[in-house]
């Protein structure tokens, strides 16, 4: 990574080599962990190479998702998120909200395939409604879609868990520190996204593919095509492009890790620009704990805290009051998804929507 020595601003994002973490050489592993710590303290974002997800599988994932998005709107809407009280499925252009404005993207949302718990007993927290089945496109229309997505989800989960374990080590915690929060019941999410070119739709709302935000989970691992547009907000508030590097994943910290480390590892604000003449596709995978997980707050070792303090405070376009920092993860997950998909909230949870002041 290059850092501007006056402002300690990163000018580009670091590239970490996953094969070092996976090797049996303890020096290679500790080299990876110390680079990881620096990346998380300096920018909160990095590229990961040699992650082991075959390029050919990534290419075919992008092929099937492109095929889905070229289907007519009424076919895509057969699996509209509005039909799912569990917030799964297709969201058409302009329906998703970030920073209180409509994003310029369409997407599919997935989470673990589970039985619905509805109707919930009165004593259950409302976030238990997030458990449920996914909605899949007709296999005949997009052959290989479901298998490709499930295979990718499993692979991304493995890599993300190994990175979480390395993050624990970077904080001098046990490599197994996070294990309990994940596993069978973890509530990971996956989005398959298409950003139209500016010329296709005319730019509305905040004029961005997705507005400035911090991700809600522990860790995000993103794959993107060659178009570009993802930008990261630096400490001083300017925007740095995460230019696509073929075959790499872009990884960043989510808000639960920010809470856990009492803001030593800060969840970096990011946004996506709308390209003037090219559509763009991306696949972010969000590693999230199980909904009942309690996110602790830990004291990081003093020398790491000192390193963090060398920096200025982070500037962010995301107001502090909007952060998802409750102790129980499910409450954060519920608040995050319901404010992005207000239409779904109003349709399935009118009382809750009214209570929160959304009129529909
Ligand atoms: O598409 C991208 O590059 C980023 C998407 C993103 O930040 C998100 O969905 O949380
Ligand atoms: Fe994001």
Establish whether this prediction's ipTM goes over 0.90.
yes
Mutation probe of ligand 1 site: the residue of 98, 191, 280 with most atoms within 8 A of C-beta: 191
Ligand nearest the Cα atom of residue 106 = 1
- What does the pLDDT read at residue 199? 81
- What does the pLDDT read at residue 264? 95
- Cβ of 193 closer than 6 Å to ligand 1, yes or no, is yes
pLDDT along the chain (360 residues), means of 10: 56 94 97 97 96 98 98 98 98 88 94 96 97 98 97 98 98 96 93 93 75 96 98 93 97 97 95 94 98 96 92 84 93 97 96 88
User: Which atom of ligand 1 is nearest the CA belonging to 286?
Assistant: 10
Separation of 283 CA from ligand 1 center, angstroms?
8
Separation of 47 CA from ligand 1 center, angstroms?
14
- Cβ of 231 closer than 6 Å to ligand 1, yes or no, is no
240 DSSP β-pair partners: 232
- What does the pLDDT read at residue 10? 66
Residue (of 256, 268, 289) closest to 214 by Cα position: 268
- Cβ of 274 closer than 6 Å to ligand 1, yes or no, is no
Residue (of 100, 275, 284) closest to 195 by Cα position: 275
| 94 in Cβ contact with 205 (< 8 Å) | yes
- Cβ of 181 closer than 6 Å to ligand 1, yes or no, is no
Instruction: Look up the pTM and report it.
Output: 0.96
Protein residue closest via CA to atom 8 of ligand 1 = 284
Domains annotated on the chain, with CATH: 15-356 (2.60.120.330)
Crossing angle between the packed helical segments 145-170 and 55-69, to the nearest 10 degrees: 130
- What does the pLDDT read at residue 200? 83
- What does the pLDDT read at residue 110? 98
User: Which atom of ligand 1 is nearest the CA belonging to 242?
Assistant: 3
Residue located via tokens 């970490």 = 16
Q: What is the DSSP letter of 63?
A: H
- Cβ of 250 closer than 6 Å to ligand 1, yes or no, is no
Protein residue closest via CA to atom 9 of ligand 1 = 284
User: Which atom of ligand 1 is nearest the CA belonging to 105?
Assistant: 1
Beta-carbon contacts of 95 under 8 Å, excluding residues fewer than 6 positions away, are 102, 341, 343
- What does the pLDDT read at residue 360? 59
Residue (of 47, 57, 37, 53) closest to 17 by Cα position: 47
| 289 in Cβ contact with 259 (< 8 Å) | no
């Amino acid at each position: 990574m290059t850092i501007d020595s006056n402002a300690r601003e990163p000018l580009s994002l670091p590239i970490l080599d996953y094969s070092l973490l996976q090797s049996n050489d303890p020096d290679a592993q500790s080299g990876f962990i110390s680079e990881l710590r620096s990346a998380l303290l300096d920018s909160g974002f990095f590229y990961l190479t040699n992650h082991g997800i075959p390029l050919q599988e990534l290419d075919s994932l992008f092929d099937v998702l492109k095929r889905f998005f070229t289907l007519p709107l009424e076919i895509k809407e057969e699996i509209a998120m509005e039909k799912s009280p569990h917030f799964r499925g297709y969201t058409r252009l302009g329906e998703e909200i970030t920073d209180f404005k409509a994003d310029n993207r369409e997407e599919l949302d997935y989470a673990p395939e589970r039985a619905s718990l509805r109707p919930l007993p009165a004593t259950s927290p409302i976030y238990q409604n997030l458990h449920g089945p996914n909605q899949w496109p007709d296999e005949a229309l997009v052959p290989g879609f479901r298998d490709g997505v499930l295979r990718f989800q499993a692979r991304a989960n493995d890599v993300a868990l190994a990175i979480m374990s390395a993050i624990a080590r970077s904080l001098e915690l046990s490599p197994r520190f996070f294990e309990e929060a994940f596993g069978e019941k973890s509530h990971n999410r996956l989005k398959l996204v298409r950003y139209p070119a500016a010329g296709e739709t005319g730019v509305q709302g905040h004029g961005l593919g997705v507005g400035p935000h911090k991700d809600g989970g522990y860790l995000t691992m993103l794959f993107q095509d060659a178009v570009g547009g993802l930008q990261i907000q630096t400490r001083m508030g300017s925007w740095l492009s995460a230019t696509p590097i073929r075959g790499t994943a872009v990884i960043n910290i989510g808000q639960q890790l920010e809470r856990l480390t009492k803001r030593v590892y800060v969840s970096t604000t990011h946004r996506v620009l709308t390209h003037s003449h090219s559509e763009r596709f991306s696949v972010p995978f969000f590693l999230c704990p199980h909904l009942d997980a309690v996110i602790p707050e830990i004291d990081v070792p003093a020398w790491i805290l000192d390193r963090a303090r060398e920096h200025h405070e982070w500037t962010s376009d995301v107001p502090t009051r909007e952060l998802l920092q409750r102790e129980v993860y499910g409450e954060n997950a519920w608040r995050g998804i319901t404010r992005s998909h207000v239409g779904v909230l109003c349709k399935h949870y009118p009382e809750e929507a009214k209570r929160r002041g959304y009129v529909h």
